[in-house]
A and B are shown apart, each in its own frame.
Chain A
């Protein structure tokens, strides 16, 4: 019986999740008279200085986040982003509506040029990161506290699930990919996995505290893959560097024109870069697809009621389908990111004999 109840609850949760997707996006879209899909989608994908919730009786309900910027004179200014609503200028700062810094806070320097100040504002993505690390710290420390009491029985429910995921990532991804001394890398890779997973899933929930596009932001994936890049190369052994600068190829490929070393060096950069782009593009594409499909309803509104009704049904069906795909992608991308990171780290630590053995095996 208990299990049935839980199942029902799960299905309701999923249903409500998609219902909210369908409800909230139109509400957001309705406020614009001239409907611009590209703007709508980009606005959703980009970072923002406020967290939009919904529109109630033609008023936007949003959370205005603190802006922390450095003025051209060198002093730090902190104020609420509500002062910048609708193109207002506050203390010389305003949100650019076009140009290179579109939707970012800009100011003018003494020469009257539009410049981007140092901007450490708590934006929507920063708040979403805070929320996700809050979730991570709460759940993992709760699990750690469970075991602090020196007990042997495993926890049940959410903590038990968490433990199973931690163990399967460690035992089936990190351990076999890295091999010896995997313990050194496990905390980072596990933190990365859960950070990416939680933010992917939160991004699917259309209402606060979800809905931010954290892992679909290039800054976040850049940061994560930069750490992976450092881990790969700082711990790379002699064999790894030899393979880059003096690989087992005919000498004319390496000297006098260092063709192979250049290709290998390029691959050193490209491995983490691929990680960065893969995660970013997958999540961003998922969000764009959902938004685009929802937008179909509003584009078709101009085509008359019949076409509108037909396309609305189709768009709801499609966006539900994409929603499921996104759910899958959220898990797969978190998994793939950590899997490839572990494989790259493992490759940089491989001894010469190991690779020869593998070659002879294959």
Chain B
């Protein structure tokens, strides 16, 4: 069976050809390809790692930004609050001041009125005293002339005085 007997000539050429192709591919073929693929794998892994890191960083930055915004908002609220309080205090102060001023003015006015009243009263009293004196003078003068007349005048004057007074 020639099918089952190896042929020396074919074996020789096979050894030569396979040897050459193996030598060339083992030197310039497979190592170059596999090294390049390894490099690519490393590059991809590296990129993935970098991307993960960047994402993490980004998340951190976002968190930080949120913190800053929250703090700013708190700050703003505080400032607004303080401003409101300040305004209220100023308003209150102003009101108090105004109230005080008014009170002082009222007091002053009242005392002036009192003063004027006292003055007027004393004037009225003086006037009355004056009038009484004049009446008394007139009465005394009439008495000197006629007794009835005197009496009459006195009554009249008194009526007058009383009428005035009322």
B148 at the binding interface (Cβ < 8 Å): no
How does the 8 Å CB contact mask read for A260-286 relative to B, with 1 for contact and 0 for none? 000000000000000000000000100
Q: Please determine whether A152 and B40 come into contact, CB atoms closer than 8 angstroms.
A: yes
B128 at the binding interface (Cβ < 8 Å): no
- Chain B residues contacting A163 (CB-CB under 8 Å) are 33, 37
A144-B32, A223-B15 given; A133·B9 CB < 8 A: no
Chain B interface extent, by class: 35 or more
Kindly provide the distance from the CB of B48 to the nearest chain A CB, expressed in whole angstroms. 14
Q: Interface majority SS on A: helix, strand, loop or mixed?
A: helix
- Chain B residues contacting A222 (CB-CB under 8 Å) are 6, 11
A121 at the binding interface (Cβ < 8 Å): yes
Residue in A68, A103, A119, A220 whose CB lies within 8 Å of B2: A103
A45-B3, A104-B2 given; A154·B40 CB < 8 A: yes
Kindly provide the distance from the CB of A182 to the nearest chain B CB, expressed in whole angstroms. 11
**Chain B residue with the shortest CB-CB distance to A42:** B3
A120-B12, A120-B13, A147-B36 given; A190·B3 CB < 8 A: no
Kindly provide the distance from the CB of B51 to the nearest chain A CB, expressed in whole angstroms. 16
B14 at the binding interface (Cβ < 8 Å): yes
Residue in A46, A129, A166, A170 whose CB lies within 8 Å of B14: A129
Residue in B2, B13, B32 whose CB lies within 8 Å of A148: B32
Determine the distance from Cα of A187 to Cα of B25 in the docked complex, in whole angstroms.
7
Among A14-22, A134-142, A236-244, A299-307, which stretch is in contact with chain B? A134-142
Interface residues of A in 72-105 (CB under 8 A from B): 100-104
Determine the distance from Cα of A321 to Cα of B20 in the docked complex, in whole angstroms.
37
Q: Please determine whether B25 and A140 come into contact, CB atoms closer than 8 angstroms.
A: yes
| Max count, chain A CB within 10 A of own CB: residue among B3, B9, B24, B35 | B9
Q: Please determine whether B22 and A140 come into contact, CB atoms closer than 8 angstroms.
A: no
- Chain B residues contacting A140 (CB-CB under 8 Å) are 25, 29-30, 33
B7 at the binding interface (Cβ < 8 Å): yes
Determine the distance from Cα of A170 to Cα of B22 in the docked complex, in whole angstroms.
16
Q: Please determine whether B2 and A188 come into contact, CB atoms closer than 8 angstroms.
A: no
A9 at the binding interface (Cβ < 8 Å): no
Q: Please determine whether A219 and B6 come into contact, CB atoms closer than 8 angstroms.
A: yes
Residue in B10, B26, B29, B37 whose CB lies within 8 Å of A123: B10
Interface residues of B in 38-95 (CB under 8 A from A): 39-40, 43
Determine the distance from Cα of A156 to Cα of B37 in the docked complex, in whole angstroms.
14
Q: Please determine whether A219 and B11 come into contact, CB atoms closer than 8 angstroms.
A: yes
Kindly provide the distance from the CB of B83 to the nearest chain A CB, expressed in whole angstroms. 61
**Chain B residue with the shortest CB-CB distance to A116:** B8
Kindly provide the distance from the CB of A290 to the nearest chain B CB, expressed in whole angstroms. 16
Determine the distance from Cα of A120 to Cα of B26 in the docked complex, in whole angstroms.
27
Q: Please determine whether A187 and B9 come into contact, CB atoms closer than 8 angstroms.
A: no
Residue in B5, B8, B25, B36 whose CB lies within 8 Å of A218: B5
Determine the distance from Cα of A100 to Cα of B30 in the docked complex, in whole angstroms.
43
B17 at the binding interface (Cβ < 8 Å): yes
Q: Please determine whether B40 and A190 come into contact, CB atoms closer than 8 angstroms.
A: no
Residue in B11, B30, B35 whose CB lies within 8 Å of A223: B11
Determine the distance from Cα of A119 to Cα of B6 in the docked complex, in whole angstroms.
13
- Chain B residues contacting A123 (CB-CB under 8 Å) are 9-10
- Chain A residues contacting B2 (CB-CB under 8 Å) are 46, 100-104
Determine the distance from Cα of A223 to Cα of B29 in the docked complex, in whole angstroms.
22
- Chain B residues contacting A166 (CB-CB under 8 Å) are 30, 33-34
Residue in A101, A104, A141, A167 whose CB lies within 8 Å of B29: A141
A130 at the binding interface (Cβ < 8 Å): yes
How does the 8 Å CB contact mask read for A134-177 relative to B, with 1 for contact and 0 for none? 00110011011001100010100000000100110010000000
**Chain B residue with the shortest CB-CB distance to A191:** B22
- Chain A residues contacting B13 (CB-CB under 8 Å) are 120, 122, 126, 129
Interface residues of A in 4-55 (CB under 8 A from B): 42, 45-47
Q: List 26 A-B contacts (CB under 8 A).
A: A47-B10, A100-B2, A101-B2, A104-B2, A118-B8, A120-B9, A120-B13, A123-B9, A125-B10, A133-B17, A136-B21, A140-B29, A140-B30, A140-B33, A144-B29, A144-B33, A167-B37, A170-B34, A186-B30, A187-B26, A191-B21, A191-B26, A218-B4, A219-B11, A222-B6, A284-B3
